[in-house]
Each structure stands twice: as C-alpha cells, then as structure tokens.
Amino acid sequence: RLVLKFGGTSVADLSRIERVARIVAAAAEDADGVAVVVSAMAGDTNRLLGLAEEAVRGPAVSSAGPGLDDAPTSRAARAETDTIAACGEQLSAGLLALTLQRMGLRARSWLGWQMPMATDGAYGAARIADLSAGALGPAIDSGEIAVIAGYQGVSPENRVATLGRGGSDTSAVAVAAALKAERCDIYTDVDGVYTTDPRVVPGARRLDRISYEEMLEMASLGAKVLQTRSVELAMAHAVPLRVLSSFEEPSRARQGTLVCDEGLILEKQIVSGVAFTRDEARVNLLALRDDPGVAAKIFSLMAKRDINVDMIVQSKSRQANAANMVFTLPHKDLPDAREALESARETLGYQEMTSETGLSKVSIIGVGMKSHTGVAEKMFQALADKGINIDVISTSEIKISVLISAEYTELAVRALHAAYGLGEAADS
C-alpha cells in the first residue's frame, strides 16, 4: 500500500492534474493499493479564507488589510470558516478522480466526513483524533484508487474542521499510518528537502536523507515544505516519508529526500539546515513583581487565548524584587496578548509593557550539535561579520535560534548557509 500526496501547485490546473494522474497511474501499477491525498488548487485556500474573513469583518475593515486592532474571531466564526476553506480540497479531489476515470482507472473521491477523518474541535487548527482507515482499506484493496480531500476532517460536533495551513501533509501521513502503508510520498514543487529554502538561497542543496528529529525542527522553525504535525505523526508511527517533485514525468528516476530514522543516515552533518520565520513579535514586561507564580500567570493567560509563546527570557531588574520578562509570539497574536496582559496589570504588577514587530527568527538545525562544540560561536560570528544584531537567543539539543530584525532575514540565512558549508556537496 502506498500513499501519495500532491500539494496546491501540483494540482494548480487541469494540465497539472493530468500529470498527477499519470504519476498515480504509474504508482498503481506497482502497489497493492493506492490512496492519493490532494490539496486545494494553488491559491484557492487563500481566496476562500479571504472571502470568509470579509464576511466576518465586513467589507470596510477587510479592505484595509489585516490590522493590529483586529478583534479575535469567535469559535462559531472559525467553524464556519472551516466549512468554507475545506471546499478547495473537495474540488481538486473530484477533478483528479474524474481524470483518473477518463484514463480508464477505477477511482473515487473521499471527503473528510466520508472516511471519516475524526478530529478534535479546534477549528482552523484541528488535530486528528483517531487513526482508523474506516472503509478506505477495503476500497483500495478492491483495486479502486482513493482520492482523498486533504486538510479536512470531522469534529466531535459532526462539523467540518480543517487541520491548519499545510494540513494536507498531515492528512496524508495519517492515512498512511492508518493503512499501514509502506511509505508516504509527498509530491510538491521542489524535488526534496533542501539545506534551506531554495527560493531564498539558490545554492541550497537537496538532502538525500534527513532524520525525523531534524525535519521536525526544520518544519517547526519555518521550513514549510512539510507541516510540523505531519512530521510528528510520521515519527510517532514510523511512517517513512519521501519528499519529491510532481513536475517530473513518472518514468524518470526520482530521488527526492527520505525522512527517516537517524540510524539510517550514514553521513551525519553537524548542521543540516537553516530555517526561518518572519512575522515574529516581542513583548517586554518591565519591572515585574518577582514572586513565585507570576510567570505561570503570564503564560496561562497566553495559553487560554491559544497564543503560542516561543522564546522566553527572564532577567533581574535593576529595581529590588523585580524582574524583566521578554517573550516572542506570532505577530498576529500580539493585539490579543497585549489586551490580556493589560487587563491583568494589577495582578502581575509590572511597571511597563512594550512590544515590537518586524522581527524574524533564524535557526540552524543539526543532530551533530549534540556532540560538537563551537557551533554557536560560528553562528554568532557569521552574523556579526554581516553586522546583524542578535536580539534573543534560544537553544535546544539540536538547534540554535536567534531573533533578528526582519530586514536582515535573507542576509542572515545566506550567511549561515555559507558559514556551515551547506551549499557544498556532502563528500567534497
């Protein structure tokens, strides 16, 4: 059994769907059963979400673009937005099934509720709750190609829920895990996972293999080639993932990148890749009461509003019994976070709150960091050589991230890519 997933640019029009159908047909010849997961045609999800947003806010507000004073969206509105956003995948699944049928293959479309793909009720960012293949297994065993609408599932309230942007990757891995597929092939508009985004660094190199661990960090630190949850799920269920290009004809020998166990990777690099995210914001709470429980209060306020806090730095304030707290979060969540902190000012007892936007986070990732020294020094020196100031630093066993001014994002990514020799062939 094999699961194939095609992203938005791969199904952007009927001629590309035609090529996808040829890839699927070729795979069906070799496999015992094939399930295909598709994303919406390129641009459709953005368009649908834009329409939903306009309906929620009214035309006057949305024409001014997303502003900092946007009010938080209600749960009811998020559920309705999912109903709209999920249409894109219904369309592409139907079109691919029709194309396969025209080529003489047995194929049918499957929507989230038909499988069903059970999720939790976090509309807009739902998690898959149950990994069972339902009627899918017998269907593909009978030789029929299942064309599955990615990104969508059914919530406990029996409503359409979406898995968040890039969620079709996760749909595909979930289906692969449920079907106990031999592999999950993610076809996209690049021919594999690169040392960094090849659109930013043209000299980026394709990796033959990358460990689940590193891929998980790369994805969560901004490499959108795979949705973070898809890698999490693949790692948990030991689903081998392959990333490859849908722009090549099926006959050509494809390599792509295999995401697999660390043990299967012979040549271990100290640093395997560079990732980045833009649109970071920073909150500074100055002269905060330095008592047990204050940090817990701050971050429970954030958690209650579903705000994902990232880097956190606490330091002593010059004032007695006071501390300064700095943390980062996505730009879009800043108004919400400020409002929450403002309303808890008395309890938290801080003197001043400031915030900044226009920040980026740039990270280096590599399992080799566990056992090598001097990795951080090289990073900071490379940034210093370009005159880039580091705002906040955070580290884990296999990554180092720095917060910098967004205008230096590309410069920093290129400098780090060069500093660790990532563009050079692994054996040179």
- Point out which residues bind ligand ADP (CB under 6 A): 7-10, 39, 166, 188-190, 193-194, 196-199, 223-225, 273
φ, ψ dihedrals at 401, nearest 5°: -120, 145
Question: What's the min distance (Å) between Cβ of 308 and ligand ADP?
Answer: 19
- Which of ligand ASP, Mg ion, ligand ADP, none binds 193 (CB below 5-8 Å, type-dependent)? ligand ADP
Question: What's the min distance (Å) between Cβ of 269 and ligand ASP?
Answer: 28
> Please, which of residues 7-26 interact with Mg ion by CB under 5 A?
7
Question: What's the min distance (Å) between Cβ of 382 and Mg ion?
Answer: 29
Spatial distance between the Cα atoms of 296 and 301, rounded to a whole number of angstroms: 9
Question: What's the min distance (Å) between Cβ of 16 and ligand ASP?
Answer: 14
E strand or H helix that includes residue 243: strand 241-245
Identity of the amino acid at 364? I
Question: What's the min distance (Å) between Cβ of 89 and ligand ASP?
Answer: 6
Question: What's the min distance (Å) between Cβ of 80 and ligand ASP?
Answer: 17
User: What mask, x for binding Mg ion by CB under 5 A, covers residues 159 to 188?
Assistant: -------x----------------------
* Of 262, 244, 297, the residue nearest 398 (C-alpha): 262
* Of 269, 266, 310, 314, the residue nearest 290 (C-alpha): 314
For ligand ASP, the closer CB: 167 or 222: 167
* Of 391, 373, 372, 381, the residue nearest 418 (C-alpha): 381
Compute the half-sphere exposure of residue 1: CA atoms within 13 Å on the CB side of its CA: 22
- Which of Mg ion, ligand ADP, ligand ASP, none binds 175 (CB below 5-8 Å, type-dependent)? none
- Asked if 192 is part of the footprint of Mg ion (rule: CB under 5 A), the reply reads no
**What contacts 210, CB < 8 A, 6 or more positions away?**
193, 218, 257, 258, 259, 260, 265, 272, 273
For ligand ADP, the closer CB: 90 or 314: 90
- Which of ligand ASP, ligand ADP, Mg ion, none binds 9 (CB below 5-8 Å, type-dependent)? ligand ADP
For ligand ADP, the closer CB: 4 or 307: 4
- 3-state SS, residue 76: helix
For Mg ion, the closer CB: 16 or 289: 16
* Segments in 103-245 forming alpha helices (H): 136-141, 168-178, 212-220, 228-236
Spatial distance between the Cα atoms of 40 and 167, rounded to a whole number of angstroms: 11
* Contacting residues toward Mg ion, per CB under 5 A: 7, 166
